């Protein structure tokens, strides 16, 4: 039987599908649930699905914002932010913080979340979240196309300077139990998310070269 041709498209010409497959192919992706404060000290909390970890020592995490949104503006000014782990029990509240609220509204209050000031940076952590990273801004980068044209997309990179972990998520050997934390991950389409379970786990060790 002749093998079917691959579906092919060039992004600048459009993908021709119901939803952009990029976010489903590069996925599922962890969520950057980012807390910051503006110049007047007003709290902001927003989720970003373009998020990941980029360095071990020092630990550096980052998220990308399509558009100069409140989180980016706040971090550009304050030079700090807090990342909060989004989990299955907090999924609905995380989703509420993506709402386009009026400037005077507080996403923590709107979503029924408890804010607590971070220990080392001028931002707040979500108390209900089992893991929080306090971060200092290391780089703020405007993305650009291959031809050098600048995009209205901003990559925010932060050095993690303090970590809060719920003790029940550490086993007797001090290993963080990822599946027990129930992090949620963004997938393709307008509303798809995934979870992590121990049944999906498998082990691979790096090869030892002779």
Q: List the Cα angle 59/22/54 in 5-degree steps.
A: 10
Tens place of pLDDT for every residue, the chain, 210 residues? Answer: 678 899 999 999 999 998 888 888 888 899 999 999 999 999 999 999 999 999 999 999 999 999 999 999 999 999 999 999 999 999 999 999 999 998 789 999 999 999 999 999 999 999 999 999 999 999 999 999 999 999 999 999 999 999 999 999 999 999 999 999 999 999 887 889 999 999 999 999 999 988
Residue with tokens 């971090």: 75
Kindly provide the b/e burial profile for residues 136-162, where b requires at least 16 CB atoms within 10 angstroms of the residue's own CB: bbbeeeeeeeeeeeeeebbbbbbbbbe
Asked whether the beta carbons of 113 and 52 are under 8 A apart, the reply is: no
The DSSP 8-state label assigned to residue 139 in this structure reads E
Q: What is the pTM of this model?
A: 0.94
Tokens of 205: 């060790």
106 burial level (CB within 10 Å; 0-12, 13-18, 19+)? middle
Residue with tokens 């386009």: 100
Rounded Cα–Cα distance for residues 27 and 201 (Å) = 16
Q: What is the dihedral of CA 17, 8, 49, 26, to 10 degrees?
A: 130
Q: Which domains does the chain have, with CATH numbers?
A: 19-196 (2.30.110.10)
């Amino acid at each position: 039987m002749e093998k079917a041709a691959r579906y092919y498209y060039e992004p600048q010409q459009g993908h021709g599908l119901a939803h952009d497959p990029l976010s489903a192919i590069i996925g599922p992706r962890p969520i950057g649930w980012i807390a910051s404060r503006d110049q007047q000290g007003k709290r902001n909390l927003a989720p970003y699905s373009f998020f990941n970890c980029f360095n071990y020592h020092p630990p550096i995490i980052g998220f990308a914002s399509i558009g100069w949104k409140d989180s980016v503006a706040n971090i550009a000014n304050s030079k700090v932010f807090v990342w909060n782990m989004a989990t299955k029990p907090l999924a609905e509240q995380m989703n509420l913080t993506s709402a386009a609220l009026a400037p005077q509204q507080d996403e923590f209050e709107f979503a029924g979340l408890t804010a607590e000031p971070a220990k080392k940076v001028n931002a707040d952590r979500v108390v209900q979240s089992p893991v929080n990273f306090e971060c200092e801004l290391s780089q703020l980068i405007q993305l650009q196309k291959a031809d050098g044209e600048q995009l209205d997309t901003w990559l925010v990179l932060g050095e993690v300077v303090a970590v809060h972990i719920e003790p029940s998520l550490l086993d007797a050997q001090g290993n963080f139990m990822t599946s027990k934390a129930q992090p949620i991950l963004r997938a393709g389409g307008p509303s798809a998310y995934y979870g992590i379970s121990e049944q999906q786990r498998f082990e691979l060790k790096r090869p030892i070269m002779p």
